[in-house]
């Protein structure tokens, strides 16, 4: 899940860095303290730690600047916040009264359950420690859809990763210039397999594989990640830069493999 939400210290560091970036180089610790809601002494301790970590530097008593490393740290946390805000807006606020889940077992209305994400779908499972919980609004049989209300907590998502497999455009050999053995190995256990470009599709078909997604791949991969699904994308080389930019803008981790022979 999101580091900023699990650590008050990380959240405070983030706020202080943003305040310094907004008002650098002349930044008064008391003003930061008032904005963040902590004491000036606490700000001083954070500033020392941020300096030691190389996230800010000082060229005078009240002159602070955020370093390149500090900017990158803020951007990483901002991407995390963006993902979390999207999760809140789409999966919490828009369905705040009743969520739809798949029942893991027969159950009665009023039963308290835990909510887990499994293969990108929300399941109502027997109550367990931690995570999100809710109350069933009706009797339900295993495998049926059921409404869940009185929601508390956050649904925990597994860390996801996108594997990008780059294949050459047809002018550079297309699917005939792909290391099929490497492609077979990388996609062997893929549950969510996507393609960008005809060359990628034909390369997959050369190893008797069909993609789950052929259109809207960039958005689909991001949506899948927000639901806890890792993806493998076989992409023609000219589409790779835009795909990677999209992943980076959402703070998603990826591996890149060049499959040219």
What mean pLDDT do residues 21-29 have? Answer: 81
| C-alpha span between 161 and 126 (Å, rounded) | 28
| C-alpha span between 153 and 191 (Å, rounded) | 28
Tokens 């650098």 -> residue: 24
Residue 95 has pLDDT above 60, yes or no: no
What mean pLDDT do residues 230-243 have? Answer: 95
Q: Within the chain, which residue ranges are assigned CATH 1.10.10.10?
A: 3-90
Beta bridge partners of 233: 164, 194
In degrees, to the nearest 5, what angle opens at C-alpha 19 toward C-alphas 17 and 25?
90
What mean pLDDT do residues 243-255 have? Answer: 89
CATH match for 161-258 among 3.40.1010, 3.30.420, 1.10.150, 1.10.760? 3.40.1010
Q: Taking a C-beta distance cutoff of 8 angstroms, is the pair 250, 79 a contact?
A: yes
* pLDDT-derived band at 158, boundaries 50, 70, 90: confident
Residue 34 has pLDDT above 50, yes or no: yes
Alpha helices in the chain (DSSP H): 3-6, 8-23, 29-36, 40-52, 68-87, 180-187, 198-206, 217-226, 240-249
**Ramachandran area for residue 198 (φ above 0: left; ψ -120 to 50: alpha; else beta):** alpha
Provide long-range contacts, Cβ within 8 A and 24+ apart, for 4-7: 4/77, 4/80, 4/81, 4/84, 5/84, 5/154
Element (H, E) at 38: none
3-90 folds as: Arc Repressor Mutant, subunit A (1.10.10)
* pLDDT-derived band at 2, boundaries 50, 70, 90: very low
Q: Within the chain, which residue ranges are assigned CATH 3.40.1010?
A: 161-258
| C-alpha span between 196 and 236 (Å, rounded) | 6
């Amino acid at each position: 899940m999101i580091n900023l939400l699990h650590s008050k210290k990380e959240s405070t560091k983030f706020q202080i860095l943003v305040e310094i970036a907004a008002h650098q180089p002349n930044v008064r610790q008391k003003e930061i303290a008032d904005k963040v809601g902590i004491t000036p002494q606490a700000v001083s301790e954070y500033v020392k730690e941020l300096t030691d970590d190389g996230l800010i530097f000082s060229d005078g008593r009240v002159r602070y600047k955020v370093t390149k490393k500090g900017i990158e740290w803020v951007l990483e946390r901002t991407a995390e916040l963006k993902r979390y805000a999207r999760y809140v807006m789409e999966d919490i606020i828009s369905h705040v009264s009743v969520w739809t889940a798949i029942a893991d077992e027969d159950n009665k209305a009023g039963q308290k359950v835990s909510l887990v994400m499994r293969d990108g779908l929300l399941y109502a499972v027997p109550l367990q420690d931690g995570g999100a919980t809710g109350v069933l609004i009706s009797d339900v049989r295993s495998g049926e859809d059921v409404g869940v209300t009185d929601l508390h907590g956050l649904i925990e998502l597994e860390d996801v990763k996108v594997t990008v497999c780059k294949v050459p455009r047809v002018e550079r050999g297309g699917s005939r210039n792909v290391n099929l053995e490497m492609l077979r190995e990388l996609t062997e256990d893929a549950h969510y397999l996507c393609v960008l470009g005809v060359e990628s599709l034909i390369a997959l078909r050369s190893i008797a594989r069909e993609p789950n997604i052929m259109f809207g791949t960039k958005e689909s991969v991001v949506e899948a990640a927000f639901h806890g699904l890792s993806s493998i994308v076989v992409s023609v080389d000219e589409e790779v830069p835009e795909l990677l930019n999209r992943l980076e803008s959402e703070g998603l981790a990826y591996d890149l493999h060049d499959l040219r022979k």
